[in-house]
A and B are shown apart, each in its own frame.
Chain A
Amino acid sequence: MRGNAIHPPSDEELNVYIRTRYQLLGVDISVLPESDPDAPMDQERLLENGRSILRQEVVAADFDIDPQFNLPVPHPAPFVAWTEEVEQ
């Protein structure tokens, strides 16, 4: 549960975070047009998508899953075949 002092960040705050993160990793998004619906991509759409991804972090964090019974598995289909074999 989040404390009362924590408020969801605004779009502007997230935009600063996103730009900073890209800048830190050496990715320059300023070469894109600011806002141009006819361009394949523009900064406005990119930031909108980035904000959506960041807000989904909260959904993932809030999802309650038993860590003892649900190990992270990148390729589950083959893994389950093996474990079911053990149980037979």
Chain B
Amino acid sequence: MRPPQDTVISRRWFLERMAWITTAAAGADALVPRPLLGADRTREYLREIPASNNTLQQVSELTELTISETVDFLRRGVVSPEDLVRAHVDRIDRYDQFYRAYADRPSLDALLASNRSEQDGSYQPLKGVCLAPKDNFYTTDMLTEGGSLVFEGFQPHYDATAVASMRSAGGLIVGKAQMGNLAGGRAQVYGTTIPTTRNAWTPNHVNYSPGGSSSGTGTAVAARMAVAGLGTQTGGSVVGPGNAQGLTCIKPTFGRISLHGVIPLSYTRDHVGPMARNVMDAAILLQILAHPDPNDPRTRGLPPAPNYVGSAAPTLGLNTPVRWPTRVGVFPGWTDPNNEAVARMRGDFLRELESMGNVQLVGEITLPEQWEELTSQPLGGSHGDPTAFFIEPLRRDVRLFGDRLPRFLNGMLQSADTYVKVQQARMLLLRSIQTQLFNQCDVVLTEGSGAFDGTGMPVLCMPIGFDTDPSSGMSVPRGVNLAAPPFGEERLFAVAAAWQARTDYHTVRPEDPVG
């Protein structure tokens, strides 16, 4: 069996890459795009989307369908894309007054027209799939306001590359999801600290957070007002709402998904992350989105995207084995959080994990040298990053930034010396994690994602149980974060696939709002 990509970055790929750079540098005025070797391969991988075990009669509502089920039902001709669009729009019309997940939406007519438009026979694996990108992705047909007065009324004239990729694959953008002010915190009324978006599990209790900053996407997906969506993560903003709402999300290796047309927070730490209801759906979206983009050099020259869909399919065998032998480590203190129920849940999770085939639990890892210094402020942060992009609105009126103002002024106070040192420390941290952490394990369970966000390593979140929120008395999901070395997405998908093959936490849906 082929090993996962985190263990083998092929030498052949590297030599091809070097040859391309040499050729381009020698003769070309501008670097020509690399041949899209990955396009055919991507199509081939997407054809591996598995058949659903359900029949249409077993599905209570069309909005229950996941991406893989939608693809299968469409393939079998038992539903039409139009049925799917109508079902989602109807649900949003009924319930978004409670959830407040969407910032802007197209009309039903526009969606139906978009659904009917043909793409010259191109393969459209997402045909009829209703999606909810966060409101920091540029869209030509809807405003892009970034949850902030700074971008109020902003109408982009092009789609973000990630949005364009989803549309090109047949996906329908049913709305722009509310988000924390300029990608920080939970969604609020612009310019205030009044919360808007509810957690899908506690729609009548505003104080229970939906997680941020990809709040609206998390709620829309969990509340079945979208099949899946896109968030962005600079410091936990995909896995935070993902864990808060029982979703399976992947923040991939830096550069895997284009950031072109996404309102930046940090040029060096921002990531686009698929947010979905199970690991297969997260893998399908990543498969579609992981490609080089001429408009974002950060996506160029990476190893070709491997078969994410294949890695997210469970492997048959004794004890639902993980596809590849995998050592699982645990951050110090992870099994002992300040919450008894969560501690119990994590203990159960580890015992269950250990009973799975191909899993070796290695226990608490020893942290790399200088961990505290390299992961805390200022060396572990990105203080200076947001300022340059926002100079004009900062000069116009600082009040537009609301409670997030300090984050956007910090760059005016941070010296170039410190900025360089932060980048040196970031590289040192990555080397330390690779040589002193991932020498102990292949994936690690971690409370926070900061060290992996700063270094650009992949992180996946998935649900492992339910707990009672004391303030609302409601049952709410709890999840875990798993991190892996660069290009370790397949490994993360494989672990999640094995876990979700033997548990059903990811299939439990929140009840509809009352009101």
A and B from one assembly?
A: yes
Question: What residues of chain A have their CB less than 8 Å away from a CB belonging to chain B?
Answer: 18, 21-22, 25-29, 31-32, 40-41, 45-46, 49-50, 53-54, 56-57, 59-61, 63, 65, 67, 70-82, 84-86, 88
Cβ of B140 within 8 Å of any chain A Cβ, yes or no, is no
A12–B350 Cα distance when bound, in Å, is 52
B409 touches A41 (CB 8 A): no
In angstroms, how far is the closest chain B Cβ from the Cβ of A81?
A: 5
Q: Which of A49, A71, A82 contacts B14 (CB 8 A)?
A: A82
A49–B192 Cα distance when bound, in Å, is 19
B255 touches A65 (CB 8 A): no
Cβ of B253 within 8 Å of any chain A Cβ, yes or no, is yes
Q: Could you give 7 example pairs across A and B, Cβ below 8 Å?
A: A21-B413, A29-B398, A40-B399, A57-B378, A65-B424, A80-B431, A88-B11
Chain A, residue nearest B431 (CB): A80
In angstroms, how far is the closest chain A Cβ from the Cβ of B397?
A: 7
Residues of the B chain whose Cβ atoms lie less than 8 Å from the Cβ of A50:
406, 409-410, 413
Cβ of B240 within 8 Å of any chain A Cβ, yes or no, is no
Name B393-437 residues within 8 Å CB distance of A: 394-395, 397-399, 401-403, 405-406, 409-410, 412-415, 417-418, 420-431, 434
A81 touches B427 (CB 8 A): no
A71–B430 Cα distance when bound, in Å, is 12
A46–B428 Cα distance when bound, in Å, is 31
A61 touches B418 (CB 8 A): yes
10 nearest CB pairs, A to B? A77-B456, A72-B423, A49-B406, A56-B378, A77-B486, A40-B402, A60-B418, A76-B430, A85-B14, A74-B268
A77 touches B373 (CB 8 A): no
Given contacts A45-B406, A53-B414, contact A77 B424 (CB under 8 A): no
Interface membership of chain B positions 293-314, coded 1 if the CB is closer than 8 angstroms to chain A and 0 otherwise = 0000010011100000000000
Cβ of B200 within 8 Å of any chain A Cβ, yes or no, is no
Q: Which of A46, A79, A86 contacts B406 (CB 8 A)?
A: A46
Cβ of B9 within 8 Å of any chain A Cβ, yes or no, is yes
In angstroms, how far is the closest chain A Cβ from the Cβ of B245?
A: 26
A85 touches B11 (CB 8 A): yes
In angstroms, how far is the closest chain B Cβ from the Cβ of A79?
A: 7
A76 touches B418 (CB 8 A): no
Given contacts A72-B427, A77-B456, A78-B254, contact A53 B421 (CB under 8 A): no
Residues of the A chain whose Cβ atoms lie less than 8 Å from the Cβ of B414:
53, 57
Name B339-389 residues within 8 Å CB distance of A: 373, 377-379, 383
A77 touches B383 (CB 8 A): no
Residues of the B chain whose Cβ atoms lie less than 8 Å from the Cβ of A84:
9
Q: Which of A22, A31, A40, A65 contacts B421 (CB 8 A)?
A: A65
B9 touches A27 (CB 8 A): no
Residues of the A chain whose Cβ atoms lie less than 8 Å from the Cβ of B402:
40-41
Given contacts A32-B399, A71-B427, contact A27 B255 (CB under 8 A): no
Cβ of B455 within 8 Å of any chain A Cβ, yes or no, is yes
Interface centre among A25, A50, A59, A81 (most CB of B within 10 A): A81
A73–B426 Cα distance when bound, in Å, is 7
Cβ of B290 within 8 Å of any chain A Cβ, yes or no, is no
Residues of the A chain whose Cβ atoms lie less than 8 Å from the Cβ of B455:
76-77
Interface of B is mostly: helix
**Besides A40-B192, A76-B456, 15 other A-B contacts (C-beta < 8 A):** A22-B409, A27-B395, A32-B398, A32-B405, A40-B405, A56-B418, A59-B379, A65-B428, A70-B428, A74-B267, A76-B430, A80-B427, A81-B486, A82-B14, A85-B9
A56–B457 Cα distance when bound, in Å, is 26
Q: Which of B301, B379, B457 contacts A77 (CB 8 A)?
A: B457
Chain B, residue nearest A22 (CB): B412
A55–B456 Cα distance when bound, in Å, is 27
Chain B, residue nearest A47 (CB): B406
B420 touches A72 (CB 8 A): yes
Cβ of B156 within 8 Å of any chain A Cβ, yes or no, is no
Chain A, residue nearest B434 (CB): A80
Chain A, residue nearest B423 (CB): A72
Q: Which of B11, B403, B409, B415 contacts A57 (CB 8 A)?
A: B415
A82–B17 Cα distance when bound, in Å, is 10
Given contacts A77-B456, A81-B486, contact A27 B423 (CB under 8 A): no
In angstroms, how far is the closest chain B Cβ from the Cβ of A85?
A: 4
Interface centre among A26, A75, A77, A88 (most CB of B within 10 A): A77
Residues of the B chain whose Cβ atoms lie less than 8 Å from the Cβ of A82:
14, 301
Chain B, residue nearest A79 (CB): B427
A88–B8 Cα distance when bound, in Å, is 10
Name B455-470 residues within 8 Å CB distance of A: 455-457
Residues of the B chain whose Cβ atoms lie less than 8 Å from the Cβ of A41:
398-399, 401-403, 405-406
Chain A, residue nearest B13 (CB): A85
A77–B271 Cα distance when bound, in Å, is 12
Residues of the A chain whose Cβ atoms lie less than 8 Å from the Cβ of B11:
85, 88
A76 touches B426 (CB 8 A): yes
